[in-house]
A and B are shown apart, each in its own frame.
Chain A
Amino acid sequence: MAIWIMRLRLAHHLGKKIASLEALKLSSWASSLHPWIPASLASSDDRYASKLVRNPVARYAARRFGSTKAQESVSEVTNGSKQVMDFPGGKVMFIPEMRFLAESPGERISCYRVLDDDGQTISGSSFQEVSKEIALKMYSDMVTLQIMDTIFYEAQRQGRISFYLTSIGEEAINVASAAALTINDIVFPQYREPGVLLWRGFTLQEFANQCFGNKSDYGKGRQMPIHYGSNRLNYFTVSSPIATQIPHAVGAAYSLKMDKKHACAVTYFGDGGTSEGDFHAALNFAAVMEVPIIFFCRNNGWAISTPTTEQFRSDGAVIRGQAYGLRSIRVDGNDALAVYSAVHAAREMAIRESRPILVEALTYRVGHHSTSDDSTKYRPVDEIEHWRTARDPVSRYRKWIERNGWLCDDAESELRSNVRKELLHAIQVAEKMEKPPLAELFTDVYDQVPSNLHEQERLLRETIKQHNGDYPPEVPV
C-alpha cells in the first residue's frame, strides 16, 4: 500500500504548493501494529485514552493522547471478549494462545517513487512541486557534484591529494534532500554528502582548499580530504568515525526545540552506520525527547565491501523506525523528486510536531568506497556499470527537466564545460597555496594554548632548526 503524505496532485499543476498535510495512514502490513498515528488514536480509541491508571508512564501517555483524568487502578478489565491487563507502559490485551511475532512482516516496506526510469512522472504519483529555478539548480548541482567527483578522484590518482571519496550514484540524495531543507536546518553529515554543502553555497575553491589542506582550508589542514565543515552553512565538520554524528544531531535538535527555532536537525549515514550503537542510541533519545530531526539513511547497499545481507537481517533501515517510535518512510534514492518530496514532508512534520522522522533512501554506491578501495574485488563489474548507466539518477532527472522544456543540450554541455574549467582552476590555485603555518598545529586543542603546548612548540622549533631537511617546506614555520 502506498504511503499518502499529501493531497494528490498531478504533474501538470506546475507552481502550486502542496497544502497542509492530511492525516497520515501507515500501511497495515502487519496486523499486530497500530495502523494509525497517535493523533488519530486519541479520537478513535477512547477505550485506551480514558481508562488510565495512576502510574507515571500512563500519565505521560495521557499527555500525548489528551486525557489527564486518573482513574481507579484496575488490574484486569474485561472488555467484551478481550481481556486487558495493565503494566508499567500501559494497557495491553492478553491472549491465551502463544504467538510469536514473525521476524519480518512478510512483505517489504514499499518504496516511494515519483519518476520512472525514463524520467516520466508515474501516473497517480503525488509529489512536492518544485519551481523551475529550484529544479534547474538541483540539476546543475548534481552535475557539478559528478564532475567534482571525477576530477578530484583523478587528482588523488595523480598523487596531488592524499585521499578522496565519491558520491557517484547518490547525487539525487545529496542535492534533492538539501534542496528540501532551509539554510537554518543544521546538518550533521557522515562523509558522502558534499552535495548538501554544494547546494548551500560551498564553492569549488573551498572544496579544493580542504582537500589540499592549504592555509585557506577552514579546517586548518588538520584532517584528511573530504572532511569538510562550514559553520556559515550550518554543516558540521565531517569526522571519520561512523555514526558518531547521529546522537549529536539529536542534541542539536533539542537545542532548536528549546530555542523555539523554526528549523530541524538533519543527519545522514549509510546502511553500515545503522549497525553502530550510536544509531540506536540516537533514535531512542530522539523519540523520548521528542525533537525535530530527520534521520536520513543512504542505503546504498555496501559498507566498503560488506553488502547489506551481511549488515542486518531487518528489512533495511526503515523498519527500525517504528521499533523506536519514529515515523518512517522508504524512498527511491535515485529519484530526485521523490527524495525532495519526502524530505520536504519530513521536515514539516519534524518541526510542526517536534518529532523525529526516519527516511531511508535506497540507492547504489556506484563508486568504490574511497580511493583506498577497489570494489571490483568484491562485486561484479557489470553490476557497477548497470547502476552507473541505466540507473543514473542524474540522467533520469535530466529527462524530466527536459520534458518540462527547461533544459537544452547546449546549456547542458556549457554547464559541464564551465564547471570543469572552474574546478581545474580551483585545484591549481589550491595546490599552489602554502599550508597553514606551524603554529596552527598547537592552536584549538583548547580555546587557549596551554603551557604544555607552548613548551612543546618551543622544543619542536628547536628541533626544526637543527634538522630542517626532515620537514615539508610547504608548511611555513
Chain B
Amino acid sequence: MALRGLGRRISIGKRCFSSASEVEKRPRDGKQINLFSAINQALHIALETDSRAYVFGEDVGFGGVFRCTTGLADRFGRNRVFNTPLCEQGIAGFAIGLAAMGNRAIAEIQFADYIYPAFDQIVNEAAKFRYRSGNQFNCGGLTIRSPYGAVGHGGHYHSQSPEAFFCHVPGLKVVIPRSPQQAKGLLLACIRDPNPVVFFEPKWLYRLAVEEVPERDYMLPLSQAEVIRQGSDITLVGWGAQLSVLERACDEAAKDGISCELIDLRTLIPWDKETVEASVRKTGRLLVSHEAPVTGGFGAEISASIAERCFLRHGLQLEAPVARICGLDTPFPLVYEPFYMPTKNKVLDAIKATVNY
C-alpha cells in the first residue's frame, strides 16, 4: 500500500517496522498489511477461538469508521458483533457486566477523545472490580480498544492521547502498539489477559503503516518493553506512532556519531521498569517522547522513576537530566499541529543537547 502525505502534514517517509531485535524474532510467514487489517485479523481470531467473545461499539456492525471490524458481523452474526447506541458510558458499563459473567467483551470507543463519559465506569468500576470483591468477581475479560493520537487534521477532538489518565489507575492495563505486527499480537494478548485493558490504536497508522504480519494466531507479552535498537549513548523511550519519529531521529543522530538505544514501552501500566532501567544504566541518558501534553504526561512517571533508580549507583549514573519531548500544554490545535507535535527535529535537538550536556 503506497504511503500518502496528509495535506500539509510533513512527509513521513518510508516506515521500517521490521528492525532486527534480539528480544523477539520477526517471523517471515505473513502478508504485508496495514494496521487496521492487522487489528481486524486479531478480532477475527479472537471471535473464532472463543465463542463467548463479543465485539461491540458505535458503528462496528458495518465494519467501523476505521474498518477495524470489517467482516466480523457477517461471519459471526449480529449477536456477537453489534452496534450499540451512541453512549460511551453505556458501552463501558455494558462491557463490564458482560465481562463479569465470564465473557470476553471487546468494546470499541470510536475516538479516544470520547472516552471520558466512560471514565467513571473504567476507573471506579472496571479497575476495582476484582479488588473490591475480594476476588469473588472480576471483569478481566474486558478490553476497550480506541483510536488515539494525531492524524494530521484532527484538531481538539480527533487527535487526543489520553493514556496518562488511565495510567494513574491501579487495576487497569494500558497497551499501545507501534505497528501492525505488534498490534495483532498485543491485541490478542490484551483480549486474553485476565485483567481489564485499555488498548489505544494509533489512528494515523491505520492505513499508513504496512508491515509483514503473520496470518496465524500469536500473542506478544504484556508488561514487557522491547528494545528495538541497541545503542550506547542515550536511551529513547516512546510508544505508538511516536516510535517512527524516534526511529528517524535515531537514524540522523547516528550520522553525528550518536548511538541511540530505542525502546518501545508497549505496556504503559504495569510498565517494564527493569528494561528501561537496564538500558539507562548502560547509556546514562534518557529521553522520553509522547504526543500527549508534557505536563502530567506518562513521560513524567518514567522520568521520575528512572531518576530515582539511576541517579547515582555503583559508579553508573545519569549523565544528564531526563529529557521529555512531548506535546504542548494546549488543547490539540488544528492549523498549529506541526508546531504542537514532538517532531523528529525537536527530538534530535534534545538528543544532541542531552549527549553534550
Contacts and interface: CB of A to CB of B under 8 A. Distances in A.
A446 B93 contact: no
Nearest to B96: A248
Given A241-B120, A281-B90, A447-B140, A248 B125 contact: yes
B89 A247 contact: yes
Interface residues of B, number: 48
A284 B54 CA distance: 19
B310 to A, nearest CB: 15
A447 B90 contact: no
Q: Which of B98, B138, B140, B223 has the most CB of A within 10 A?
A: B98
Interface string A358-378: 000000000000000000000
A251 B105 contact: yes
Given A250-B93, A277-B89, A445-B171, A237 B132 contact: yes
A231 interface: yes
B270 A222 contact: no
A197 interface: no
B49 interface: no
B120 A236 contact: no
Nearest to A221: B134
B171 A446 contact: yes
Interface in A200-258: 217-220, 222-223, 227, 229-231, 236-237, 239, 241, 244, 246-256, 258
A252 B87 contact: no
Interface string A303-315: 0000000000000
A220 B94 CA distance: 26
A285 B100 contact: no
Contact of A251 (B95, B194, B270): B95
Contact of B131 (A244, A277, A445): A445
B84 interface: yes
A135 to B, nearest CB: 31
A92 interface: no
B217 interface: no
Nearest to A232: B136
Nearest to B171: A445
Contact of B97 (A252, A284, A288): A252
B135 interface: yes
A227 B270 contact: no
B100 A219 contact: no
A282 B93 contact: yes
Given A277-B117, A288-B85, A443 B135 contact: yes
A140 B271 CA distance: 53
Contacts of B100: 236, 248, 251-252
Contact of B130 (A217, A277, A278, A444): A444
Given A277-B117, A446-B195, A251 B97 contact: yes
Nearest to B172: A446
B136 A241 contact: no
A239 B132 contact: yes
A188 B133 CA distance: 13
B19 interface: no
A220 B133 CA distance: 8
A285 B134 contact: no
B94 A251 contact: yes
B263 interface: no
Contact of B120 (A244, A252, A288): A244
Nearest to B128: A239
Nearest to B88: A281
A239 B136 CA distance: 14
B49 to A, nearest CB: 17
Interface residues of A, number: 47
Nearest to A254: B98
Contacts of A178: none
A66 interface: no
Given A229-B137, A241-B124, A452-B270, A281 B87 contact: yes
Nearest to A293: B97
A248 B139 CA distance: 10
B101 interface: yes
A476 interface: no
Contacts of A278: 89-90, 93, 121
Contact of A451 (B52, B85, B274): B274
Contacts of A252: 97-98, 100-101
B101 A246 contact: no
Q: Which of A188, A285, A288 has the most CB of B within 10 A?
A: A285
B133 A251 contact: no
Contacts of B105: 251
A251 B101 CA distance: 8
B69 interface: no
Contact of B93 (A223, A231, A244, A258): A244
A284 B90 contact: yes
B251 to A, nearest CB: 33
B93 A251 contact: yes
B99 interface: yes
Given A445-B131, A447-B195, A237 B136 contact: yes
A186 interface: yes
A456 to B, nearest CB: 10
Contact of B121 (A223, A247, A253, A259): A247
Q: Which of B52, B82, B92 has the most CB of A within 10 A?
A: B92
A250 B131 contact: no
Contacts of B171: 445-446
Contacts of B30: none
20 contacts: A229-B132, A229-B137, A231-B136, A241-B125, A247-B94, A248-B125, A251-B94, A254-B94, A254-B97, A255-B101, A281-B85, A282-B90, A282-B94, A284-B85, A285-B84, A288-B85, A445-B171, A446-B173, A446-B195, A447-B130
Q: Which 10 A-B pairs have the closest CB atoms?
A: A251-B97, A247-B93, A281-B90, A248-B97, A251-B98, A255-B101, A237-B133, A450-B270, A220-B134, A231-B136
Interface of A: 186, 188, 217-220, 222-223, 227, 229-231, 236-237, 239, 241, 244, 246-256, 258-259, 265, 277-278, 281-282, 284-285, 288-289, 443-447, 450-452
Interface of B: 52, 54, 79, 82, 84-85, 87, 89-90, 92-103, 105, 117, 120-121, 124-125, 128, 130-138, 140, 170-171, 173, 194-195, 223, 270-271, 273-274
Given A285-B90, A447-B130, 4 more contacts: A222-B131, A231-B133, A252-B98, A289-B82
